[in-house]
Amino acid sequence: MPHVITQACCNDASCVFACPVNCIHPTPDEPDFATSEMLYIDPDACVDCGACVRACPVDAIVPHTKVVTEQLPFLDINRSFYPERPQGVKLPPTSKLAPVLPAAELHQRGKYPLTVAIVGSGPAAMYAADELLTQQGVLVNMFEKLPTPYGLVRAGVAPDHQRTKLATRLFDEISWRRGFQFFLNVEVGRHVSHADLLQHHHAVLYASGALHDRRLEIEGMGLAGTGTATEIVGWYNGHPEFTGLPVDLSHERVVIVGNGNVALDVARILTSDPDRLVHTDIADYALAALRDSAVSEVVIVARRGPASSAFTLPELVGLTQTAEVVLDAHDHARVREDLATVQDNLTRQKLEILTKLGDASAPITRPRIRLAYELTPGRVLGQQRCTAVEFTVMGTDQVQRIDAGMVLSSIGYHGTPIADLPFDDNAGVVPNKGGRVIDPQTGQRVPGAYVSGWIKRGTNGFIGSNKSDSLKTIQTLAADYNAGLLTEPIAGPRAVARMVHAQQPDVIDAAGWKIIDKAEIARGAAQDRPRVKFTRVADMLDEVKDHSDLPLLQNMLGALRRS
Ligand code: SF4
């Protein structure tokens, strides 16, 4: 098997289009692409050219000769995506090459070049900018609430998944392109309004994600010690809004309700040997708290059975290689029952891994993770602080109590409304057609407003899934521009910088972000870490002010002149 895709796969699909023999699937035009946990190389069709390795933004593809021990399961995982056939027999070719989604084409109109404001700076925002900037002369202004860009890649990916964070290399490269400008530390809806942006741009594209967890609505959620897994992710990743989270690890057990990848991440970090994390970019205060932690078990609880586990196969493989994961005897029995009847290959592979887990009755010798199934949360117990959770065993009246000093929910995200745009509260998305925002009352387009990423399609997919999603939004936006449906900005490109600076003097531009980035990397280098993050906005601003030779506005205007 010449090449293999491994755990870090981000589903960006750049490799698909780089492959000369179309042996990486699913491709973005195939129906299972949107739900696929990763992409897979057909071992019998791969001709070992290495083109995909160079295309992958997160270094997830390796030749089989360089597969390291923990990547070995991915040989089978790649192979088993394809139907069994006699050795050497290739699949009938569907097409010579994967069909590349056509790039948006612009026909210049009006006085100013197409100028687009993008709100948010995570993967959906960066991929949208990437697509827009393939067109000559287009201007992209990116607005981000924090002084640092890249959204969940910086503040959501677990610190021990540094390879996934390599996507920032691609994002840096996009942000250096002619026509791109950062307006960081600027909150849309606070410092500038949707109307302000629309006046200065042909279009405003929201790629601000789905920031909030769905809440677990049971009695006792709200006691000290309860919260969401995402808050803990923000805390250990040094997100300024979660730096002050009162995280108390002076107890033995944490319960997480919900068993998706975020739950696995949090459980893995809370049970990790701090020495394993010491060379990552985890926040210093979080590392110190983990060193003092008394937590010896994190229980990840799911309402449904093992076959319905929400975590992905690559994450389960990674988890079992780095943490001690156990099951109770009755859950082992449930796994065996599910394995006897399972139909689909992916679930079978997950169940096979679960059958090999240790038994929870063994004494706890180091912090561990217990997966528990078929338990419905009833209420959290405690006076001021939580002390336990009561569950009902599925299909019975039996109540099971699990003692815990921290209870976290991890049952998915929900988008939050965006000022001045319609919102579908049930779906947690901005109503849209192909990324074009639609007013549900009238069925008409909301002039100049577009969405991409989770706020467009809901909370599904991985970092790279946003690439094809953003491309589709940009195709829609370009069609509207070509049809003359977008209004010209009221003034030229420099007016945006003046407007923003008047309303938020502490705006950070690309030069400012570079100062923060360089300082974090330098702080990290001294400790053999990729970076030591600033976790307070004030410290980030001080760093920029201390190292800027020019006032921020001059920096920004200088960048404009260069563009
Ligand atoms: Fe395709 Fe070449 Fe990568 Fe094999 S090594 S999957 S042939 S691009």
Among 49, 66, 90, 91, residue to substitute to test ligand 1 (most atoms within 8 Å of Cβ): 49
Does residue 1's CB lie within 6 angstroms of at least one atom of ligand 1? Answer: no
User: Does residue 270 register a pLDDT over 80?
Assistant: yes
Q: Are residues 396 and 430 in the same domain?
A: no
Evaluate whether residue 49 is within a structural domain.
yes
Within 13 A of 316's CA, how many CA atoms are on the CB side?
Answer: 28
Write the CATH number for 274: 3.50.50.60
Does residue 51's CB lie within 6 angstroms of at least one atom of ligand 1? Answer: yes
Q: So what's the pLDDT on residue 561?
A: 46
d(CA 534, CA 517): 9
**Which residue, among 274, 226, 271, has the nearest Cα to 247 in the 3D structure?**
226
Work out the pLDDT band at 140, boundaries 50, 70, 90.
Answer: very high
Does residue 52's CB lie within 6 angstroms of at least one atom of ligand 1? Answer: yes
Evaluate whether residue 509 is within a structural domain.
no
Among 6, 27, 48, residue to substitute to test ligand 1 (most atoms within 8 Å of Cβ): 48
Amino acid identity of 452?
Answer: S
The mean pLDDT of 400-423, rounded to a whole number, is 93
Q: Are residues 263 and 318 in the same domain?
A: yes
Q: Are residues 130 and 205 in the same domain?
A: yes
Does residue 394's CB lie within 6 angstroms of at least one atom of ligand 1? Answer: no
Number of domains in the chain: 3
Q: So what's the pLDDT on residue 562?
A: 43
Does residue 39's CB lie within 6 angstroms of at least one atom of ligand 1? Answer: no
Residue of higher predicted confidence among 143 and 558:
143
Q: So what's the pLDDT on residue 100?
A: 65
The mean pLDDT of 315-341, rounded to a whole number, is 97
**Which residue, among 389, 316, 406, has the nearest Cα to 356 in the 3D structure?**
316
The mean pLDDT of 28-37, rounded to a whole number, is 86
The mean pLDDT of 455-467, rounded to a whole number, is 81
Ligand 1 atom at shortest distance from the alpha carbon of 50: 5
Evaluate whether residue 11 is within a structural domain.
yes
Q: What is the pLDDT of residues 223-258, one digit of tens each?
A: 999 999 999 999 999 999 999 999 999 999 999 999
Q: Are residues 297 and 436 in the same domain?
A: no
Q: So what's the pLDDT on residue 88?
A: 67
Q: So what's the pLDDT on residue 93?
A: 57
Residue 459 CB: number of other CB atoms within 10 A?
Answer: 18
Residue of higher predicted confidence among 70 and 407:
407
C-alpha 23 – ligand 1 centre gap (Å): 7
C-alpha 90 – ligand 1 centre gap (Å): 14
Provide the percentage of residues in the chain whose pLDDT is more than 90: 74
Q: So what's the pLDDT on residue 63?
A: 92
What angle (nearest 5°) sits at the alpha carbon of residue 446, between those of residues 442 and 448? 165
Evaluate whether residue 93 is within a structural domain.
no
Work out the pLDDT band at 75, boundaries 50, 70, 90.
Answer: very high
Q: Are residues 167 and 202 in the same domain?
A: yes
Q: So what's the pLDDT on residue 412?
A: 85
C-alpha 79 – ligand 1 centre gap (Å): 14
C-alpha 22 – ligand 1 centre gap (Å): 8
Q: Which of 23, 53, 80 is the last residue of a domain?
A: 80
Q: Are residues 402 and 426 in the same domain?
A: no
Write the CATH number for 55: 3.30.70.20
C-alpha 490 – ligand 1 centre gap (Å): 49
Q: Which of 376, 392, 411 is the last residue of a domain?
A: 411
Q: Which residue owns the Cα nearest ligand 1 atom 1?
A: 19
Evaluate whether residue 106 is within a structural domain.
no
Among 23, 62, 66, residue to substitute to test ligand 1 (most atoms within 8 Å of Cβ): 23
Provide the percentage of residues in the chain whose pLDDT is more than 70: 94
Backbone angles phi, psi at 424, to 5 degrees: -100, 100
User: Does residue 399 register a pLDDT over 90?
Assistant: yes
User: Does residue 382 register a pLDDT over 90?
Assistant: yes
Does residue 46's CB lie within 6 angstroms of at least one atom of ligand 1? Answer: yes
User: Does residue 96 register a pLDDT over 90?
Assistant: no
Does residue 114's CB lie within 6 angstroms of at least one atom of ligand 1? Answer: no
C-alpha 502 – ligand 1 centre gap (Å): 51
- Whether 97 and 27 have beta carbons less than 8 Å apart is answered as no
Residue of higher predicted confidence among 170 and 209:
170
Q: Which residue owns the Cα nearest ligand 1 atom 8?
A: 19
Q: Are residues 224 and 187 in the same domain?
A: no
Does residue 49's CB lie within 6 angstroms of at least one atom of ligand 1? Answer: yes
Does residue 18's CB lie within 6 angstroms of at least one atom of ligand 1? Answer: yes
Q: Are residues 249 and 324 in the same domain?
A: yes
Backbone angles phi, psi at 80, to 5 degrees: -75, -5
Q: Are residues 357 and 443 in the same domain?
A: no
C-alpha 60 – ligand 1 centre gap (Å): 13
C-alpha 52 – ligand 1 centre gap (Å): 5
Q: Is 370 left (phi over 0), alpha (psi -120 to 50) or beta?
A: beta
Write the CATH number for 151: 3.40.50.720
Q: Are residues 238 and 300 in the same domain?
A: yes
Structure tokens at 477: 């936006």
Evaluate whether residue 87 is within a structural domain.
no
Among 4, 40, 46, 78, residue to substitute to test ligand 1 (most atoms within 8 Å of Cβ): 46
Ligand 1 atom at shortest distance from the alpha carbon of 63: 5
The mean pLDDT of 347-355, rounded to a whole number, is 97
- Whether 158 and 280 have beta carbons less than 8 Å apart is answered as no
Q: Give the gyration radius of the chain's Cα atoms.
A: 24
Q: So what's the pLDDT on residue 233?
A: 96
For 10, the domain range is 3-80
C-alpha 55 – ligand 1 centre gap (Å): 10
Ligand 1 atom at shortest distance from the alpha carbon of 42: 6
Among 21, 27, 53, residue to substitute to test ligand 1 (most atoms within 8 Å of Cβ): 21
Ligand 1 atom at shortest distance from the alpha carbon of 45: 7
Among 16, 22, 41, residue to substitute to test ligand 1 (most atoms within 8 Å of Cβ): 41
Which residues are CB-neighbours of 352 under 8 A, at least 6 positions away? 339
Residue 528 CB: number of other CB atoms within 10 A?
Answer: 8
Work out the pLDDT band at 74, boundaries 50, 70, 90.
Answer: very high
**Which residue, among 334, 307, 303, 313, has the nearest Cα to 261 in the 3D structure?**
313
Evaluate whether residue 102 is within a structural domain.
no
State whether residue 451 is helix, strand or coil. Answer: strand
Residue of higher predicted confidence among 91 and 406:
406
Q: So what's the pLDDT on residue 563?
A: 44
Q: Which residue owns the Cα nearest ligand 1 atom 2?
A: 49
Q: Which residue owns the Cα nearest ligand 1 atom 4?
A: 46
Q: Are residues 247 and 277 in the same domain?
A: yes
* Average predicted confidence (pLDDT) for the chain: 91
C-alpha 5 – ligand 1 centre gap (Å): 10
C-alpha 2 – ligand 1 centre gap (Å): 8
The mean pLDDT of 192-209, rounded to a whole number, is 95
User: Does residue 283 register a pLDDT over 50?
Assistant: yes
Q: Which of 378, 411, 444 is the last residue of a domain?
A: 411
d(CA 325, CA 320): 6
Q: So what's the pLDDT on residue 533?
A: 97
C-alpha 28 – ligand 1 centre gap (Å): 17
Q: Are residues 224 and 369 in the same domain?
A: yes
Ligand 1 atom at shortest distance from the alpha carbon of 51: 8
Evaluate whether residue 537 is within a structural domain.
no
Q: Which residue owns the Cα nearest ligand 1 atom 3?
A: 52
